[in-house]
């Protein structure tokens, strides 16, 4: 466990932005993590997982602790269910593939999401009709200031759409070290109601899909719309889909009857930010090395040497244009550092 100085973070953020850390250390188990926290009690610290949900706009003047804890295992099971535990540093997609290879159901709709397992509860990741909160049982976390270990149950996490206690009440207080999910061993609940999945399965003439079929369909859809961070720097959806009160939305909808929306409760609707951004003419636009992806307007991309500030400027331009045009405020999903 070696602390390095002036360390480049380019390979540690999926946007591929060049920024450096004053100090950097990777920890491989909880004991190492505890030791680093104790020995550097007074240092400013920055916790880095898979780097898939952040935009670096400046160098980090702190000790960056990269959570590289590995391991996944079954911790309990009965005839119908299995409880699996993954350490925080496991790559999410590799973990999902491992559950599918073992015929454990529940995570297949969230195949190919970038990032590590430990950060999935922070923003309650979700895709194609599933969210982490549907299978999440608990996570273990270490408190940064006193190194106490705490287990957060599902209800204690206060999950919402891309929200949790870790982004709000206990923001920056804990480091998640492992997560437990409850998955099905049989009678898998196949969820293909989200738009494109059933179409993708029909293309392959699959009538009774297994969890492998669903995972493959999700992978195919994601690959057709979302850029692979290894080839084109990005952080997935840059913005959240805005949630509006139905009463406010109705006034906007009268002016823009073609606007897409989804009812999410009797009083609220969600408007796809990708649609708003596309209508505002940003989709596929490039400004220097920064741009808006050609197949999914929610995704901002780095063509090579964009700075975080350049990406941030595009995001602000988009936010202002959407607000001026539609009176709708769209919020970043990505953490801007």
DSSP for 41-58, please give it: TTS-EEEESS--SEE--S
- In whole angstroms, how close is the CB of 278 to ligand EPU at the nearest point? 4
Catalytic residue among 162, 178, 200, 215: 162
Tokens read off for 251: 């006034």
Question: Rounded distance, CA 18 to CA 10, Å?
Answer: 5
Q: Shortest Cβ distance from residue 260 to ligand EPU (Å)? A: 5
The footprint of ligand EPU on residues 257-286 (CB under 6 A) is: 260, 272, 274-275, 278, 283
Residue 162 among the catalytic residues: yes
- Whether 333 is a known active-site residue: answer yes
Q: For ligand EPU, which is the closer residue by CB, 62 or 243?
A: 243
Q: Kindly tell me which of 65 and 308 has the beta carbon lying closer to ligand EPU.
A: 308
Q: Is residue 289 a contact point for ligand EPU (CB under 6 A)?
A: no
- Choose among 151, 199, 195: nearest CA to 177: 151
The residue among 118, 7, 10, 6 whose CA lies nearest residue 56 is 10
Q: What is the dihedral of CA 69, 145, 149, 54, to 10 degrees?
A: -40
Q: In angstroms, how far is the first alpha carbon of the chain from the final one?
A: 25
Is residue 235 annotated as part of the catalytic site, yes or no? Answer: no
Interface map 49-88 toward ligand EPU (x if CB under 6 A): ----------------------------------------
**Contact with ligand EPU (CB under 6 A): which of 56, 298, 301, 322?**
298
DSSP codes of every residue in 134-186: GTEEEEEEEETTT--EEEEETGGGT-BTTB-GGGTTTTTTEEEEEEEEEEESS
Identified binder of ligand EPU from the candidate list 296, 302, 315, 319, rule CB under 6 A: 296
| Residue 276 CB partners (closer than 8 Å, separation 6+) | 259, 322, 325, 326, 328, 330
Q: Pick the stretch among 10-18, 32-40, 82-90, 237-245 that binds ligand EPU (CB under 6 A).
A: 237-245
Q: Which is nearer to ligand EPU, 27 or 114 (CB)?
A: 114
Q: State the residues that interact with ligand EPU by CB under 6 A.
A: 127-128, 194-195, 226, 236-237, 240-241, 260, 272, 274-275, 278, 283, 296-298, 333
């Amino acid at each position: 466990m070696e602390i390095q100085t002036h360390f480049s973070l380019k390979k540690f953020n999926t946007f591929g932005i060049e920024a450096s850390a004053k100090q950097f250390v990777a920890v491989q188990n909880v004991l190492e993590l505890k030791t680093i926290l104790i020995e550097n009690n007074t240092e400013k610290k920055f916790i880095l997982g898979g780097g898939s949900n952040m935009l670096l706009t400046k160098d980090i003047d702190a000790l960056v602790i990269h959570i590289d804890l590995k391991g996944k295992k079954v911790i309990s099971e009965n005839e119908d269910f299995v409880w699996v535990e993954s350490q925080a540093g496991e790559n999410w997609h590799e973990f999902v593939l491992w559950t599918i290879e073992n015929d454990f159901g529940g995570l297949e709709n969230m195949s190919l999401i970038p990032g590590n397992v430990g950060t999935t509860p922070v923003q309650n990741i979700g895709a194609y009709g599933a969210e982490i909160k549907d299978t999440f049982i608990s996570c273990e976390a270490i408190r940064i200031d006193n190194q106490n270990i705490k287990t957060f149950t599902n209800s204690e996490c206060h999950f919402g759409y891309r929200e949790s206690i870790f982004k709000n009440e206990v923001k920056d207080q804990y480091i998640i070290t492992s997560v437990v999910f409850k998955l099905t061993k049989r009678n898998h609940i196949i969820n293909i109601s989200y738009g494109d999945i059933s179409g993708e399965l029909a293309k392959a003439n699959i009538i009774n899909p297994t969890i492998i079929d669903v995972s493959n369909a999700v992978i195919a859809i994601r690959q057709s719309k979302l850029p692979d961070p290894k080839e084109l720097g990005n952080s997935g959806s840059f913005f959240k889909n805005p949630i509006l009160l139905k009463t406010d939305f109705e006034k906007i909808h009268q002016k823009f009857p073609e606007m897409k929306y989804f009812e999410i409760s009797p009083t609220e609707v969600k408007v796809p930010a990708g649609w708003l951004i596309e209508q505002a003419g940003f989709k596929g636009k490039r400004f220097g090395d920064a741009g808006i992806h050609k197949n999914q307007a929610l995704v901002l991309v780095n063509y090579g040497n964009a700075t975080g500030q350049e990406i941030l400027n595009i995001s602000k331009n988009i936010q202002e244009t959407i607000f001026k045009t539609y009176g709708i405020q769209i919020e970043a999903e990505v953490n801007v550092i």
